[in-house]
A = this chain, B = another copy of it.
Amino acid sequence: MNTHYKNKEKIDKMQDAIIKAAIKVYAAKGMHGIRIADIAKEADVSYGLVYHYFKNKEDVLNAIFAKSINIFLRAIENAAVQEKSLEHKLNSITTFLFNACKEFPEFMYVIMFEVIWTPKFLETRNFMSFTRAFSTFEKILIEYREKGELKKSIDTTVSTYMFFGGLEMILTGIVIKAIPVEKTEMFQKLSNSFINQYINGIAASK
């Protein structure tokens, strides 16, 4: 009865293993340097097998993107719905991403470097994911501006871009080790500095 079900599980597990391997290779060789043969070797399967689980290379690439981008979106959307202060919401986003950097640096490397800025992804439906993330965030800002917690004068679009741009650059700095992070507490310090400065920049003056 559930042979079928079991197979489905197996397929999912295999696909996941291949995507994980693909992300590693992606991190090491970049979007265009990535080769099916390398992915297969990293996943310790034959390259022929990759074609059982994915239609073609493009399909693997899309899977990498889909898996990666979700981490981002979920963090933001989770934050958006919380009944908390703006600072809490921002903190929830940054903490999540800083933790990801700490725990899956390779993964974040891929998000930071390859997935986000590859023109290919910006043009297609993938772009929508970012658009959604940005507009979800902007809505938070608008909400808090209307509550009077943020300056009336701020350009929420600019503020949104500054948030993601600034955060991304710091994460990148960490990932490429231009910003050294020896102790775990450092992550929290960086996160706090970032949020403080960011909120100071837009908060309504008391």
Contact = CB atoms under 8 A, between A and B. Distances in A.
A192 B158 CA distance: 10
22 contacts: A31-B32, A32-B33, A112-B117, A113-B119, A154-B193, A155-B190, A157-B173, A159-B193, A161-B169, A161-B179, A162-B165, A162-B194, A162-B198, A165-B166, A165-B167, A165-B169, A166-B169, A168-B169, A196-B201, A197-B201, A199-B201, A200-B202
Contacts of A120: 30
A76 B129 CA distance: 33
A101 interface: no
Contacts of A197: 154-155, 158-159, 162, 201-202
A170 interface: yes
Interface of A: 30-33, 112-113, 117-120, 122, 131, 134, 153-155, 157-159, 161-170, 172-173, 176, 178-179, 189-190, 193-194, 196-202
Given A165-B167, A199-B201, A200-B200, 17 more contacts: A30-B32, A30-B119, A30-B120, A32-B32, A117-B117, A117-B172, A131-B178, A155-B189, A157-B179, A158-B170, A162-B165, A163-B166, A196-B201, A197-B202, A198-B201, A200-B201, A200-B202
